[in-house]
Chain A
Amino acid sequence: MGELAAFMILSLVTLIPAVVVVTSSNIVRAALSLVPTFLGVTGLYVMLQAEFVAGIQVLIYAGAITVLILFVIMLTAGGTGARTRQINEQVPLGAMAAVWLAFVLIVIFSRTVWPVLAGALPAYNVIAVGNAFLTDYVLIFEVTSLVLLVSLVGAIVIARREE
């Protein structure tokens, strides 16, 4: 019962600002609304007992990604004052696609047999995450790091060219 109530509240905290993100005509407000959305998702992670992922979610998404988005908006000439239209004449088309996607997702979710009985959680899942990254998924982990490194080098190259 308490879990359900917490889930409902966290979903509202996640979804209401998410609506603001896609509808607000003020782009800074839209970007700032991402913060409660990310924090709501953090709450959902905590409910799933994935506290390490929750901490990383706040650190990276709420603390860094949002700030980066705001930074870019504020450095763009005329980026902050402009009243952006988030809706154009393709609304019916988009709505149809969204309804179709929602229908497909609901069908899939209701038809799938979800494994309800999960295994026992490790008492300290930071160690489990670390072990998984460096044993079973080490290749994926390294390739992801390589992608980040390439984007870092790319950003430096682009920034150097202007000089």
Chain B
Amino acid sequence: MPWFIELLKATGLAVVIFTFLAVVSAMFGVYLERKISGWIQARLGPKHVGPQGLLQTVADTVKLLQKEHITPRNADALIFNAAPVIVAVAALLDWIVIPFGKFGGRVLVVRDINIGVLYFAAMASVTVIGIISGGWSSNNKYALLGGLRSAAQMISYEIPLALGILWVAMVAGTLSTVGIVDAQVKQGSWFMFKLPPPIGWFGLPFGILASLTFLTAATAEVNRVPFDLPEAESELVAGYFAEYTGMRFALFQLGEYGEMFGMAGVATIMFFGGWTEPHLQPWMWLLVTLASLVVVAVILFSGLRQTLLVRPILILASLGFLLSLVMFFGSRAGLSPVLPSPVWFLTKLFALVFFLMWMRWTYPRLRLDQLLNLSWKVLLPLGLLNLVATGFVLTAWGR
């Protein structure tokens, strides 16, 4: 391919990903976050702009675009202005290796490079530089504290994160994101539940342990509650972006949400089968449908309806009901892929994002020492032991 077509393709895809990030993950993500948090805490959330407040984030973005850029007088202007760009671009680059599904035999991915998940981890680690330089250059003690906290936190949690990636790379035998999904297609199940035959279901504890370690580390890596010490509102104003105004502030938000969706996407690919459709018998889908219907009915027609804690379970059960109903009729009708693969990818992605938001609005923030203890004394040994045990099982009974 000539270089200018290559360049045009790269530019076009960058625009597409950026639009996806800005519109779907940042705007829609912020809206979802506010709605879900309001719902969990018995508030209404955004309500007035557009139907059910759907256009609230669009209005906020337009407002932020109009705001003045303020650079504090004693700030290091060059670094101060570059920091939000680093964070946003790092989040943008994450998405290059994430496959969205299959369309007519082609995998919908910008570039399937053979170090896919390693590249993802590398780009996620670049975010720290943006955060720490933003925190320092603001010349504000709260911002500096936030930046330092984030550096300590993100460097500590990169290790369990890398161990989770290493686990998947070991089981799949490849680092490419498309290759990992293909390995799960080949063994006929997600890595969370099964290891390659002949181990099968005996791999369940390893897979669940690995995915939980990875998800915990990923939550910490994107600085979300219960790990949001770098931007703890009640102690540090807003942490590392306390001094930022207007669109630069929005770029930090874009980076954070883009990174969160990216982490959810990689977790989907590594542990939840990516774009593949779960294959169950029709009667099993019917069973799932009935089970979720029972859960919904029990919650709606009993005193539990008043309990805020069960609300996320209610929404998950009703969504599961709808999905499994569609799958039941689809598989009865004999359709082989009932739903197109991007739909499955986005469903799994949003289920994980919902899970992360649920965690955020349920648990209180950890203290700094608890945070570092969790990483170094719990997640790191667990991840290492899991890696060794899985490696042993794979060599003893596997290939």
- A residues apposed to B, CB below 8 Å: 2, 26, 28-29, 32, 35, 51-52, 54-56, 58-59, 62-64, 66-68, 70-71, 74-75, 80, 124, 126
Q: Which residues of B contact A2 (CB under 8 A)?
A: 3
Q: Tell whether, in the assembled complex, residue A66 and residue B118 are in contact, meaning their CB atoms are under 8 Å apart.
A: no
Q: Which residues of B contact A51 (CB under 8 A)?
A: 113-115
B394 within 8 A of A: no
Q: Which residues of A contact B121 (CB under 8 A)?
A: 55, 59
**Closest CB in chain B relative to A61 CB, distance in Å:** 10
**Closest CB in chain A relative to B394 CB, distance in Å:** 15
Q: Which residues of B contact A32 (CB under 8 A)?
A: 79, 129, 133
- In Å, the complex CA distance between A64 and B158 comes to 9
Q: Which of A26, A55, A62, A63 contacts B115 (CB 8 A)?
A: A55
What class of interface size applies to chain B in its complex with A?
20 to 34
B128-163 residues at the A interface, CB under 8 angstroms: 128-129, 132-133, 136-137, 144, 147-148, 151-152, 154-155, 158, 162
- In Å, the complex CA distance between A63 and B118 comes to 13
**Closest CB in chain A relative to B169 CB, distance in Å:** 8
Q: Tell whether, in the assembled complex, residue B126 and residue A29 are in contact, meaning their CB atoms are under 8 Å apart.
A: no
Q: Tell whether, in the assembled complex, residue A28 and residue B129 are in contact, meaning their CB atoms are under 8 Å apart.
A: no
- In Å, the complex CA distance between A64 and B78 comes to 22
Report 6 cross-chain contacts, Cβ distance below 8 Å, ordered by A residue.
A58-B123, A62-B125, A62-B129, A64-B125, A71-B148, A126-B114
Q: Tell whether, in the assembled complex, residue A66 and residue B129 are in contact, meaning their CB atoms are under 8 Å apart.
A: yes
- In Å, the complex CA distance between A26 and B133 comes to 13
Chain B: CB-nearest residue to A80: B136
- In Å, the complex CA distance between A70 and B86 comes to 16
Q: In the complex, given contacts A51-B114, A63-B125, what are 6 additional A-B residue pairs having Cβ atoms less than 8 angstroms apart?
A: A55-B121, A55-B122, A59-B158, A67-B129, A67-B132, A74-B147
Chain A: CB-nearest residue to B152: A71
B119 within 8 A of A: yes
**Closest CB in chain A relative to B373 CB, distance in Å:** 14
**Closest CB in chain A relative to B86 CB, distance in Å:** 8
- B residues apposed to A, CB below 8 Å: 3, 76, 78-79, 113-115, 118-119, 121-123, 125-126, 128-129, 132-133, 136-137, 144, 147-148, 151-152, 154-155, 158, 162, 174-175
Chain B: CB-nearest residue to A63: B125
- In Å, the complex CA distance between A29 and B147 comes to 16
- In Å, the complex CA distance between A55 and B166 comes to 14
Q: Tell whether, in the assembled complex, residue B114 and residue A59 are in contact, meaning their CB atoms are under 8 Å apart.
A: no
- In Å, the complex CA distance between A59 and B123 comes to 7
Q: Tell whether, in the assembled complex, residue A58 and residue B125 are in contact, meaning their CB atoms are under 8 Å apart.
A: yes
Q: Tell whether, in the assembled complex, residue A59 and residue B76 are in contact, meaning their CB atoms are under 8 Å apart.
A: no
Q: Which residues of B contact A28 (CB under 8 A)?
A: 76, 79, 133, 136-137
3 A-B pairs with the lowest CB-CB distances in the bound complex, closest first: A63-B125, A58-B122, A55-B118
Chain A: CB-nearest residue to B179: A124
- In Å, the complex CA distance between A75 and B123 comes to 25
Q: Which residues of B contact A67 (CB under 8 A)?
A: 128-129, 132, 151, 154-155
**Closest CB in chain B relative to A31 CB, distance in Å:** 9
Residue with the highest number of chain B CB atoms closer than 10 Å, among A51, A54, A64, A67: A67
Q: Which residues of A contact B122 (CB under 8 A)?
A: 55-56, 58-59, 62-63
Q: Which of B113, B115, B133, B158 contacts A70 (CB 8 A)?
A: B133
Given that A28-B136, A64-B125 are known contacts, is A74 also in contact with B144, CB under 8 Å in the complex?
Answer: yes
Q: Which residues of B contact A64 (CB under 8 A)?
A: 125, 155, 158
Q: Tell whether, in the assembled complex, residue A29 and residue B79 are in contact, meaning their CB atoms are under 8 Å apart.
A: yes
**Closest CB in chain B relative to A49 CB, distance in Å:** 11
Chain B: CB-nearest residue to A59: B122
Q: Which residues of B contact A52 (CB under 8 A)?
A: 115, 118
Q: Which residues of A contact B152 (CB under 8 A)?
A: 71
Q: Tell whether, in the assembled complex, residue A29 and residue B76 are in contact, meaning their CB atoms are under 8 Å apart.
A: yes
- In Å, the complex CA distance between A86 and B237 comes to 37
Q: Which residues of A contact B129 (CB under 8 A)?
A: 32, 35, 62-63, 66-67, 70
Chain B: CB-nearest residue to A70: B132
Q: Which residues of A contact B162 (CB under 8 A)?
A: 59
Residue with the highest number of chain A CB atoms closer than 10 Å, among B78, B122, B144, B151: B122
Q: Tell whether, in the assembled complex, residue B118 and residue A59 are in contact, meaning their CB atoms are under 8 Å apart.
A: yes
Chain A: CB-nearest residue to B113: A51
**Closest CB in chain A relative to B103 CB, distance in Å:** 26
Q: Which residues of A contact B128 (CB under 8 A)?
A: 63, 67
Q: Which residues of A contact B119 (CB under 8 A)?
A: 55
Q: Which residues of A contact B118 (CB under 8 A)?
A: 52, 55-56, 59
Q: Which residues of A contact B76 (CB under 8 A)?
A: 26, 28-29
**Closest CB in chain A relative to B74 CB, distance in Å:** 10
**Closest CB in chain B relative to A41 CB, distance in Å:** 13
Q: Tell whether, in the assembled complex, residue B136 and residue A70 are in contact, meaning their CB atoms are under 8 Å apart.
A: yes
**Closest CB in chain A relative to B168 CB, distance in Å:** 14
**Closest CB in chain A relative to B161 CB, distance in Å:** 11
